Structure formats: structure tokens, C-alpha cells
Amino acid sequence: MTNILRLAVDAMGGDFGVEVTIPASLIFLKNNSSVFISFYGDLTQINKQIRFYPDLTKTLIDRFEVFHCKSEVSMKEKPSFSLRNQKNSSMWRAIESLSDEVNSACISSGNTGALMAISISQLGCIKGINRPAICSKIPKLNGCTYLLDLGANVVCSGEKLHQFALMASRMVSLVHHIDSPSVAILNIGIEENKGHEELWSAAKLAKADKNINYLGFIEGSSLFTDKVDIVVCDGFTGNITIKTMEGFAALSHQYLNKELSLTYLGKLGKILINRSLKRFYGKLDPNQYDGASFLGLNKVVIKSHGNTNIDGFYSALNSAMLEVKNDLPNRVEKALLN
């Protein structure tokens, strides 16, 4: 098959494994005729799930392949254990297929730490990068903002934060077609004297870099406005930020449903505005923004939410396809070396 884009799927990853990864992948194949998927995982479980979709399977049988793996990386596994002992796992073999040039990207909703450790071990980083940054979309008033790092680098120097800004600028420009995306650094205030030395250093470097459209510091309360396209922070701050957002989104759903269920008029109103409510929930649903990029690796690796659903994993597959088509790792490396 010429001009076929090959994706490796860790079929066992995440809280729901094959119940999500297989149907999402089959639907994705149906909608993207130039894609081939290699499934890595337990052959019996994968085939059982595939048989639930006989019509899809019949038309797509030549566009996927299953590679049996003896084990899987659990969500509680330590990255060091996975590196030493799980070379036959679905996650390891899916990533390994990229280093062997069999596939062009790997998608997994499995253990983030293990996925990062195995990816660095098997694929390496682009020149000038020691550890990748995890970048994902978050909702804002109109569209989305790209936030990084989300946990790969707990402590960051000013130089590393500057690299994050440059890599994300290149990704958003190439993949998401935003010319000269605006960048801000997350801080406890917008004043230049707020925060700590690493943030001041990062701000100085970003401001002097002609490849970065740097606007300044931004506070957490402004993340959901349309002020910037990219927000940079260390992994400790970013991980807490995005998980707090997800928790608050869930709480908002619960509060609204509870309030509308208290009275007859509320219940009636819920029926009348049901379509609007679905759109509201959809805009806050983390699955709509699934597919975090491991920026800085030599190959495309996409992390899907551990508790993602079929729509969410589909979104992650789409992110992988777009990054491969835009040759993202090579073009990010060139941006860093210029």
C-alpha cells in the first residue's frame, strides 16, 4: 500500500482497554482511507471486541493487523519497573514499532509515566531536548488554548520553559494553522516582578526570541479567555491545573443537574433546553480535547486520557495523524536549531 499512514495502538491501555481503543480505531479507519492500524495487545480480547463490529471488520480487514503481546502496563506501574521488566507489553511493543520504522506514531491511554519512560528509551529526543513536554488543549471562550507541560517535567529551568514555548509555537502553527500563535507564561500575577527566578529567565528568553509571539505573564483566571493561544508552565503546575479544571467541570455538571431537578419548573426547563445543555457539557468534556502530544521526541507519541471514551480516543488518533502528516518532530527540531 503506497502513501499509507501507519499508526500503532496500545490496545490495552487505559481504564477500559479494548472496549474503547478497538471501536474508536475501527471507526477512525472507516473515516480515513489512507490509514493502517497495528493493534498491540491480548489477541483474544482484541478479536472478541472486533467481532462486535462485523460490518466494519469486513470492509476494513486489510487495513489493520493484530500483534499479540503477553502483558500490559498497569496504570499503577512504576516507570522504572516497566523499563526493566515489560518489554513484551503492548505499550513497549507499540512504541518499539516506531523505532523499527514499522509505524509512524503511537497512541496509548495507558500509564503516563511508563509511556514517557519507554518512549525516551526507545525513540530518543530531538537535538537540544532532554525530556519531552506534554502538551494538550484546554477549552476557552472561543476555541482552545494549548497548555504545557502537564507533568513530564516537575521542575523546569528558564531555558526549558523557553524550549516549551518554541516547540508549542511550532506545533500550533504547523498542525493547527494558527499563524504566529501568542504565548504567555503562567504565573501568580501579570507584573514582571511576580513569581520566581526561573519564570523571569523564561520570560526574558521568550521576549528576545523572534520565533515566539510572547505576550507576557498570565494568571490562572485568564486561562479560559481569548487572550493567548499557548500557556507555558512547569509540569507540577500544569498537572495540578488541568486536573483541577477537569474536577471543576464535573462539579459544574453535577450542580447544574441538581439545581434543575429541584423543582417542577426546573425539570421542565431542563427538557426545553436539553439541546443547549448537551452543547454546554460537550464544550467542557475533557474527551473533546483528548490527545496530548509528547513534544520533543524523535517520533510522534500521543497520550489519551486514562478514562477516555470512544470519542476521546478517536480524537487522539486524529491528533497523531495530523502530527505525522505535518512531520512535526523534524520541523520542531529545525525550529530549535535555528
**Could you read off the pLDDT of 68-88 as tens digits, one per residue?**
999 999 888 888 888 888 889
Averaged pLDDT for residues 6-35? 95
pLDDT reported for residue 281: 57
- Report residue 154 as a C-alpha cell: 516537575
Res. 1 pLDDT band, cuts 50 70 90: very low
**Residue 5 within any structural domain of the chain:** yes
Nearest to 12 by CA among 152, 107, 82: 107
**Residue 333 within any structural domain of the chain:** no
Number of domains in the chain: 2
One domain for residues 115 and 76: yes
**Residue 170 within any structural domain of the chain:** yes
Check pLDDT > 90 for residue 270.
Answer: no
* Residue 181 phi, psi (nearest 5): -60, 140
Averaged pLDDT for residues 241-260? 77
Q: Which contiguous run of DSSP H or E holds residue 147?
A: strand 144-148
**Residue 322 within any structural domain of the chain:** yes
One domain for residues 66 and 197: no
CB-facing half-sphere around the CA of 304: CA atoms within 13 A? 35
Domain enclosing residue 97, as ranges: 1-130+296-328
One domain for residues 322 and 252: no
Per DSSP, the three-state class of 280 is: helix
**Strand partners of residue 232:** 148, 185
One domain for residues 141 and 19: no
83 vs 315, residue with greater confidence: 315
Integer angstrom CA distances of residue 62 from 42, 146, 296: 20, 36, 33
One domain for residues 198 and 280: yes
164 vs 253, residue with greater confidence: 164
Which pTM value belongs to this model? 0.88
Please state the separation of Cα 314 from the chain's center in Å. 12
One domain for residues 43 and 27: yes
The strand order across the sheet containing 5-10 reads 64-68, 35-41, 5-10, 105-108, 300-303, 292-295, 133-139, 144-148, 230-232, 182-186, 213-218
pLDDT reported for residue 104: 95
One domain for residues 137 and 285: yes
pLDDT reported for residue 337: 76
Q: Which residue carries 507519541 as its cell?
A: 301
- Work out the angle between the directed axes of helices 310-325 and 18-31 (0-180°, nearest 10): 50
| CB 239 within 8 Å of CB 186 | no
One domain for residues 1 and 24: yes
pLDDT reported for residue 143: 82
One domain for residues 184 and 234: yes
Nearest to 212 by CA among 191, 181, 190, 185: 181
**Residue 219 within any structural domain of the chain:** yes
**Which of 37-51, 249-263, 264-278 is least confident?**
264-278
Q: Which residue carries 481504564 as its cell?
A: 15
Check pLDDT > 80 for residue 276.
Answer: no
- Report d(CA 168, CA 321) in Å as an integer: 17
**Residue 180 within any structural domain of the chain:** yes
One domain for residues 137 and 281: yes
One domain for residues 321 and 201: no
What type of residue is 83? L
CATH of the domain at 282: 3.40.718.10
Q: Which residue carries 480480547 as its cell?
A: 45
Burial of 324 (0-12, 13-18, 19+ CB in 10 A): buried
Check pLDDT > 90 for residue 152.
Answer: no
| CB 207 within 8 Å of CB 253 | no
- Report d(CA 8, CA 36) in Å as an integer: 9
One domain for residues 317 and 224: no
| CB 94 within 8 Å of CB 108 | yes
Nearest to 293 by CA among 105, 83, 67, 66: 105
Q: Give the mean pLDDT of the chain.
A: 88
- Report d(CA 129, CA 125) in Å as an integer: 6
Res. 280 pLDDT band, cuts 50 70 90: low
pLDDT reported for residue 249: 72
- Report residue 197 as a C-alpha cell: 527566578
**Residue 336 within any structural domain of the chain:** no
**Residue 338 within any structural domain of the chain:** no
